[in-house]
Structures are given as structure tokens and as C-alpha cells.
Amino acid sequence: MPALTIRDVPDDQIQTLKIRAAQAGKSLQAFMQDLIAREVSKPTMAEMMERLNRETTARVSATDIVAAIDEGRAGR
């Protein structure tokens, strides 16, 4: 598994992360791995829009719609 190095992180931010890791009962490394895993599991807005487009695209023709309406009216 590749390593990830982040340079120039301010000391106060590192201290906050260490405190949060300790509060979660984790090492800083485990805490950061969880943080990264949570972030990459969330889809981006662009990914969500693509998914919505894919899932909401109707595959019904106007002819199908008119036929369904006519069928409904005939069943009254």
C-alpha cells in the first residue's frame, strides 16, 4: 500500500487531529485513514448529477404514454 505524505500542515491543525484521534480511541494514522475513507466514499456533486441523470432518464416514448392513457380511459 502506498504511503501518503502531507507537508506544511500547521501545528494547531495537527494537534486538533491528534486530540480527535485520541478521543476516538485511535492512532493518528488510523484516524486519518478513516477520514480519507469517509471522504472518498462520498460522491462528488458531478457524480451525483450523472447518477441522477442516468436513473431519471425516461425510456418511454410519447406513443407509449398515449397508449397507456387510452387504455386507462377504456377501462373506466
| Residue pLDDT, tens place only, 11-70 | 999 999 999 999 999 999 999 999 999 999 999 999 999 998 888 877 888 898 899 999
pLDDT band at 3 (very low <50, low <70, confident <90, very high): very high
DSSP string for residues in 6-67: -----HHHHHHHHHHHHHTT--HHHHHHHHHHHHHHSPPHHHHHHHHHHHH-----HHHHHH
* pLDDT tops 90 at residue 76: no
pLDDT band at 75 (very low <50, low <70, confident <90, very high): confident
Specify the pTM: 0.61
**In the chain, what are the domain boundaries?**
11-74
